[in-house]
A and B are shown apart, each in its own frame.
Chain A
Amino acid sequence: MGRAIVITSGKGGVGKTTVTANLGTALAQLGHSVVLIDADIGLRNLDVVMGLENRIVYHLVDAIRGKCTVAKAMIKDRRSENLWMLPASQTDDKDSVTPEEMRSLVCELKHTHDFVLIDCPAGIEQGFKNAIAGADEAIVVATPEVSSIRDADRVVGLLAAADVPARLIVNRISQHLVKRGDMLSQSDVIEILALDLLGTIPLDDHIVATTNRGMPAVLEGKSLAAKELNRIARRLSGLEVEDHATGGFFTRLGRALGLSATPA
């Protein structure tokens, strides 16, 4: 039985889809069998970020309506072993699926995969309710901006009400802006949201480039953001228990000297 994890944020544009694509790819590269579900019905774009747009024949709503089998609607990512994606419909709207239907779909996929990652739409309306319906746990993505944190806080409250435990990814943090006092730090974000931290992804031009090419950054794996995403994937799968925030001797030394990429 696999784990269903919803990636959510409340606010749009903070990197949910990019995080979903990269974590899914990284988990698959670790040898897990992974399926990504785009729950953003009507505004799908996980397929674009994954570079699988031109292979969509059936989608999530088709599978739920019984127009096709779930297996048929899933697209296999040929770049990774064991990675599939279930795209959203572009023509339906959020009300065309109910939370119960999502729950049974996710439950079905959990039987055949280690990880079911659900890319949640922005907002807290029907699409959000559908996306979290089948989830066992949640990853809340927040950028170090007041508006993002405010929305994330609201979402964390809704997740708690739905009994979905949540962990935090702080996305797009820029150490030199933090040092200059122009950006909220990771600890500022954690202080308000009071969540366990899964990881902190640095602001990285590389992500923009790879996302636009439909090539998850972790496939190339060289950039700072990709390294952190790989680390988060290992932590998510329980392979890496060490908290990077404390780190080993050299990490700590590097941080003391101001060399480390990961924030203290």
Chain B
Amino acid sequence: MGSSEAVSDLDEAAGAALVPPAILRGSARGLEIVVHGQAPTDAIVAAVAERLAEAPTFFRGSDVRIRVDAGPLAPGCLSRLDAIAGQFELRIVEVGAAVKRGTSEDAVPVPNLAAGSAPAPASGASAEPAPADPVQASVVPADAAVLPESVEPVAIDLEPDIELVPDTRVLVGPVRSGVILEHRGHVIIFGDVNPGAEIRAEGNIVVLGRLRGTAHAGIGRDVGFILALRLEPQQLRIGRLVARASDSDTPAAVPEIAHVTDATIIVERYLGRLPGSLAASL
């Protein structure tokens, strides 16, 4: 969710008739379809089909997130959207409420952070200082850009939530050779997990350090992920799957995440968000 997205009252002010029933847009996480919840189902479906037909091959195979603007979707709408997505070989991985933003993508300029021109929160109380004072102009914008989201929490946009088991276990490493740590929930470790150590969790495993031992996530659930700042494990297990580092692999010096896709353990760079296929499976 780009914190640069501006919140404004424009869309409330604008008549529903001005709002298109559906918009396709690219986001940092892939393709998004923003649906106007008040629009008739037929109109929505038609609009989506029309937009997708404009470039039938361009989106093929992508993951799609549906954002519902202004109210819930009419019953049956989602299944019709799903059918259309199927036609274009798209996969709906997530449905959630839209982050409120200007009616038209093009009409609302992305706030220029450097100039500190992010719009004030929806309350309209403009606390924005004139960028005359160079010191303020350079300091305030960061806050100003963050404010809109904190004013209007978009918790639903974080879905799918990882259920935070009450007894998520947080511990400080290093977890040394010979230690077997078993836990029913998620495990978060500040520090290294050394070779010869093993972490077993029914939930997910996050290592804020080097994971050089063995980690087994998603025991009995077959879904889950293992995330580490340096993923150099002896062995990774998720559910009933086992993977081991290939002998030729030189470990990447970046955070990586291991998860299950198509009954295979996949390791990829962790870029600050859960991979789409993983997010869909949680």
| A window 145-166: CB within 8 A of B | 146, 150-151, 153-154, 156-158, 160
Q: Is A194 an interface residue (CB 8 A)?
A: yes
> Chain B contacts of A153 at CB under 8 A?
174, 176-178, 194-196
Q: Which of A150, A160, A194 contacts B196 (CB 8 A)?
A: A150
Total interface residues in chain A, CB < 8 Å: 11
Cα A192 to Cα B193 with chains together (Å) = 9
Cα A156 to Cα B197 with chains together (Å) = 13
Cα A151 to Cα B192 with chains together (Å) = 16
Q: Is B179 an interface residue (CB 8 A)?
A: yes
Question: Do the beta carbons of A194 and B177 come within 8 Å of each other?
Answer: no
- CB closest residue in chain A, given B213: A153
Cα A160 to Cα B192 with chains together (Å) = 16
Question: Do the beta carbons of A150 and B195 come within 8 Å of each other?
Answer: yes
How many CB-defined contacts (below 8 Å) exist between A and B?
A: 29
User: In angstroms, how far is the closest chain B Cβ from the Cβ of A230?
Assistant: 31
Cα A156 to Cα B178 with chains together (Å) = 10
> Chain B contacts of A154 at CB under 8 A?
176-178, 196
User: In angstroms, how far is the closest chain A Cβ from the Cβ of B67?
Assistant: 45
Given contacts A154-B177, A154-B178, A157-B179, contact A194 B195 (CB under 8 A): no
Question: Do the beta carbons of A157 and B192 come within 8 Å of each other?
Answer: no
Cα A153 to Cα B192 with chains together (Å) = 12
> Chain A contacts of B176 at CB under 8 A?
153-154, 156-157, 160
Cα A158 to Cα B195 with chains together (Å) = 15
Mark interface residues in B139-181 (1 if CB within 8 Å of A CB, else 0). Answer: 0000000000000000000000000000000000010111100
> Chain B contacts of A150 at CB under 8 A?
177, 195-196
User: In angstroms, how far is the closest chain A Cβ from the Cβ of B229?
Assistant: 14
| B window 223-258: CB within 8 A of A | none
Cα A57 to Cα B176 with chains together (Å) = 41
- CB closest residue in chain A, given B194: A153
Cα A157 to Cα B176 with chains together (Å) = 6
> Chain B contacts of A151 at CB under 8 A?
177
Mark interface residues in B117-138 (1 if CB within 8 Å of A CB, else 0). Answer: 0000000000000000000000
| A window 227-263: CB within 8 A of B | none
> Chain A contacts of B179 at CB under 8 A?
157
- Which residues of A are interface residues toward B (Cβ below 8 A)? 146, 150-151, 153-154, 156-158, 160, 192, 194
17 chain-A/chain-B pairs, Cβ below 8 angstroms: A150-B177, A150-B195, A153-B174, A153-B176, A153-B178, A153-B194, A153-B196, A154-B176, A154-B177, A154-B178, A154-B196, A157-B176, A157-B179, A158-B178, A160-B176, A192-B192, A192-B194
- Which residues of B are interface residues toward A (Cβ below 8 A)? 174, 176-179, 192, 194-196, 212
Since A150-B195, A192-B194 are in contact, a sample of 15 more A-B pairs with Cβ atoms closer than 8 Å, ordered by chain A residue number, is A151-B177, A153-B177, A153-B178, A153-B194, A153-B195, A154-B176, A154-B196, A156-B176, A157-B176, A157-B178, A158-B178, A192-B192, A192-B195, A194-B174, A194-B192
